[in-house]
Amino acid sequence: MDTVRRFCTHVVRFVSTIAMDPHLYFEQSWNAEIAAIQSREDLLRRMDQLVTWVDAIGLSNNQRRRLDAALIADGLPAFSWMRDGRGRAAAKE
């Protein structure tokens, strides 16, 4: 569960950075919600929503590569892999 939580936190931080969220409202709001989730199922559901939403905002290839590199550097799965249904299924096991 910790890995999924860290993955979500990293993705939120990245989106906050590219969205130029100077007061960190987006990042703080999402991270507080992610931190408060107690059940594995709810956390996985939130991860699915986050991955789907971030995928829909249309990151450039360069932004996606930067996000993947940041996640991998912290020992987390790449966002590109999590976009794939197999990646999400593996996270749920």
Identity at 26, one-letter amino acid code: F
pTM of the full predicted structure?
0.84
What's the pLDDT at 59? 87
Summarised one tens digit per residue, pLDDT across range 62-74 is: 999 999 999 999 9
Residue with tokens 């931190």: 35
pLDDT for residue 85 is more than 80? no
The mean pLDDT value for 13-42 works out to: 90
Q: What percent of the chain has pLDDT over 70?
A: 90
3-state helix, strand, coil in the chain (%, to 5): 75, 0, 25
Q: What is the pLDDT of residue 17?
A: 86
